A and B are shown apart, each in its own frame.
Chain A
Amino acid sequence: SAVISQKPSRDICQRGTSLTIQCQVDSQVTMMFWYRQQPGQSLTLIATANQGSEATYESGFVIDKFPISRPNLTFSTLTVSNMSPEDSSIYLCSVGTGPGNTIYFGEGSWLTVV
């Protein structure tokens, strides 16, 4: 499996500010995704991060709120913009790798908006 590093691991953010989360993988991967996990809930896909082109967003998520970059096959960023307390969640980077493109998760970025 790939080693997936996320930064920051945890942060407390002020309402109205923006925060960028970084995801670094130790090998080139074709598939990279960003998920959100609200407190006590399941995982919801925000978007697929596409290398060299705009991310593909799921229903209910928009680029202005969650801009994503993926400049190469090992790195991506997710920005949570103009944060409100409802954005308090775990944000998880995931990649597909190995035989059959098994999906693995980074350690997550735990954001609390106050």
Chain B
Amino acid sequence: GENVEQHPSTLSVQEGDSAVIKCTYSDSASNYFPWYKQELGKRPQLIIDIRSNVGEKKDQRIAVTLNKTAKHFSLHITETQPEDSAVYFCAASTDTGRRALTFGSGTRLQVQP
């Protein structure tokens, strides 16, 4: 089955700096890669996703890149703000068959004011 590895487990940055979180996956059939943000005591919220026919996707300060050959994808947050502090999860799935998400282990991002 799919295995998703996520690094780093914790990340501390100064407000205004950029943050990068990286994930690798094992199943070459995976073609959907979402990122979720989970604030303390709340549900995971989808913040951005990418499909395998696209190499990069941006939404304001957030971007995701995908390298299918290397089986890795990354989340980039620019101009970080204290409200970006949360746990971020990457995930992977296929469009057919099982279709459920397999999650990475999570990254706790702390943005220092």
With a CB–CB cut-off of 8 A, which chain A residues contact B13?
none
User: In the complex, A103 Cα to B99 Cα: how many Å?
Assistant: 10
Of B43, B93, B100, B103, which contacts A42 at CB under 8 A?
B103
B88 to chain A, nearest CB (A): 11
User: In the complex, A106 Cα to B42 Cα: how many Å?
Assistant: 10
Majority secondary structure of chain A interface residues (helix, strand, loop or mixed):
strand
Chain A interface, number of residues (Cβ within 8 angstroms): 21
Query: Which B86-113 residues have C-beta < 8 A from chain A?
Result: 89, 91, 93, 95, 98-106
- CB-based contact A43/B98 at 8 Å: no
Task: List residues of chain A with CB under 8 Å of any chain B CB.
Answer: 1, 31, 33, 41-45, 48, 92, 94, 96, 100-108
Task: List residues of chain B with CB under 8 Å of any chain A CB.
Answer: 32, 34, 36, 42-46, 49, 51, 89, 91, 93, 95, 98-106
**Known A42-B105, A43-B44, A103-B93; 11 more pairs at CB < 8 Å:** A33-B101, A41-B105, A42-B89, A45-B100, A48-B99, A100-B95, A101-B99, A102-B46, A102-B49, A105-B36, A106-B43
